[in-house]
């Protein structure tokens, strides 16, 4: 996957996690950042493997390793590629997903989820009035 694809995939995974959060949790941005950072469906940072991986980590990382934006973000964090690679393809996959979070607007995703819930409630009310 390219880094852009990692960002898109991580965004989709964030949406899935946000849909499982309570309305109260959605109001606390810092709490949501922590949840998304630690959820294995988003980054895999806790287990060392993203639970939402499509394909193998080895297949996924082959394009991101040479992606200029990924390398810029990676180097900006002062990481050492040899040290990370020593942990295998899963480590690069997890790092790419964690770095991708930098490019995702949590506020926009939270707003999107809140609007989705409002729309669903309106539809449910409308359907209950028909019965």
pLDDT one-digit tens code per residue, 40-90: 999 999 888 888 878 888 999 999 999 999 999 999 999 999 999 999 999
Coil, helix or strand for 106?
Answer: helix
> How many CB atoms neighbour CB 48 within 10 A?
13
Residue in 120, 107, 121 with CA at minimum distance from that of residue 14:
107
Full domain range(s) for residue 92? 3-130
Counted domains in the chain? 1
In contact, 50 and 41? CB cutoff 8 Å = yes
Does pTM surpass 0.75?
yes
* pLDDT of 130 strictly over 80: no
Average pLDDT over residues 94-107: 96
Which contiguous run of DSSP H or E holds residue 60?
helix 57-64
């Amino acid at each position: 996957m390219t880094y852009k694809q990692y960002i898109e995939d991580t965004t989709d995974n964030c949406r899935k996690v946000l849909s499982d959060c309570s309305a109260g949790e959605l109001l606390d941005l810092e709490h949501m950042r922590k949840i998304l950072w630690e959820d294995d469906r988003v980054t895999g940072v806790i287990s060392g493997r993203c639970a939402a991986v499509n394909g193998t980590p080895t297949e996924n990382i082959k394009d991101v390793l040479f992606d200029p934006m990924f390398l810029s973000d990676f180097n900006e964090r002062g990481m050492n590629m040899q040290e990370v690679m020593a942990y295998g393809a899963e480590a690069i996959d997890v790092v790419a997903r964690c770095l991708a979070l930098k490019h995702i607007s949590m506020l926009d995703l939270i707003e999107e989820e809140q609007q989705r819930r409002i729309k669903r409630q309106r539809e449910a009310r409308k359907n209950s009035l028909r019965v």
